[in-house]
Structure 1
Amino acid sequence: MQKRQILSTRPPAAARGAPAAGRAPVFDACQVGVVLRAVLLVQLLLGVAAMFGTDSFEGWLAQLALLTGGALPATLAWLLAACAARPVLARLAEPLQYAAGALLGALAGLGACALLAPVLDGAAPWLASTASGALIATLLVAVLALRARARLPAATTARLTELQARIRPHFLFNTLNSAIALVRDEPARAEALLEDLSDLFRQALVEQGEAVTLDEEVELARKYLAIEQVRFGERMRVQWQLDARAGNALVPPLLLQPLVENAVRHGVEPDEQGLAKLRISTALRGSQVRIGITNTLPRRAAGTPAPAGHGIAQANVRERLRLLHDIECDFRASAHKGLYHVRITLPLRA
């Protein structure tokens, strides 16, 4: 057994010795959802601008097609440049990041004007294109910055919710009672149980970033299930099907534990006469990681409805996944033939 400092709430040595995180970028242009929204926003602005040059629908379409021929490549170039420069932008102060985004937008505007110059009847509007590019880029940066700031309250709410779930009196009392029952006959198991409980509390209290690896989340879920296994014994069978290639995927902190806890509370705990089963799986499929949590539903008398949960944990997980991976992730939960399935799909980001 590991020797641990009594009543210590400090993080592990690796976490204490880790350097402080650098300044976060104000905006992130590296996500597919961001690219789609940026292109749609620019197209919307072009559609409005094209209305000023014609009174007919056919003329509007022709004008929009002309503007799109220059603006679309320029928008994609801005997004690629902003994504490639993300590590550099993260080291700049916030006003300088806005300025860098506007500067890249001005250059993109010049590029768009250069593309359209050969087909324009009059003189190319170099100054107007530069100013328009800078203005649209500043608008995009502002929108992306607001979205990035939206992660903070969600993460704070998630931390409070999971901390409260972890220190629920009945969970704490059940764990301590299990340790007391083991301490005389199986002191090694009692010590391991208390170590897992200590790790769970430490994980809830240690300051974390906006993302951790899937491997870290799996390890935390293992500790939680090890505690509950002592209480339920043969009533709960846990099966792990883990793909090592998926372990580097980035997920929000405290993602798996509340979902596994839901499976125990609604699938294992109420089933006093049956044998509850719980399966946690991860798999890499192309560039996507799939996470599955499946539990058996308790047997009930005919006509007896299953108690409905509040759905707080699932809503919390779904929202944090959306903030981290945007439209690249998917969360689904459903019951089918006596089993409850939770399926998560997200991109692999090493």
Structure 2
Amino acid sequence: AASLPLASLVPRFSRLATASVVVLSATGSAAYALHVGSKDLLATTTYGRALAVKLVLFGVLLGLAAHHRFRLSPRLARAGQALAAAFGRGVAAEVAAGALVLAAVGAMTSVTPSRDAAEARARSGVIDHVALPAGELTLRVMPGLVGNNAVAVELADTRPAAAGTAADAVLRVTAPGGVARPFDVTLRPAGAAAGRERFVAHGSFFTPPGTWRTEVIVRRRGLDDVRHAFAARITRTPDERIEQRVDDALAAPIPSSAASIAAGAALFQTHCAPCHGPEGRGDGVAAAGLATKPADFRLHVALHTDAELYAWVALGIEDTPMPAFRDTLDRDELWHVVNHLRATFGAGIGSGAGGAPDGG
């Protein structure tokens, strides 16, 4: 008879526990949709990791609730006190899991939500600092996302012979996984203050996302070069990841046949070579008169999807000399140009890229 109250209590407890777990599931899903929105942010932010722990514990609680409701409850009604200890252990496990859920929720409320953290990172960008024998060197990449970035290098050269001596600075950039050859970005002097020289550049240097080897080289006549390789982690925003999935789903409607490539080559020489050069090096006869150096296709094409190349040829690139050709070339001709670029300059990469080339 002593077991009857417990036998009648178990179904009620199980129903309450199941309802609580459903509420946890709903709030966890809502938190993911509102404050995370992507698997990357789930894994790379404190808020996302806490939410992931909460969701895992939700699964544990759901399993325990189901065990109590559908296995222990019927058996407890028949066996009475014999299963009371097992039920007690199960309740203790649920209480422990519930406490861990509360800890995860506490962590979530004490840190910045993933979306806000990503936006804050976009505002702060990539910042790294190193102390070298020649002085202190700082690299800033803003916003540190795929696409256009502002790069700033600051050097506090403490060598006496460096005072009053002009310096040249270069950024030697290597893509993640060696998907393209390293290339140099010339940094232009931007003045000095408080003993720190500043060099800057702006452009689409970082595509695709990943950790880029970014070597700063500062040369000064009569002195050893100051150089250091930073690791700049470049990421995508959630919206860019969605756009990328759309891009990857768009296959070129004109097959990359020999005829299409030949037609694209002829169109390239007529419309693209004046700026980009006959070999796509960015050294065409009109390049010298442009405010922005035309893209070197040997570096850029392999980093972009066909959909991106088509969009840039058709629509141009805003704030650069790169014009739109949609009114000059028809749809098939635009795809012929893309097929020529792909066949001549690179097969592309699976992840695509989200930033435009420099332009021109």
Structure-2-length-normalised TM-score: 0.25
Normalized per residue, the structure richer in strand is: 2
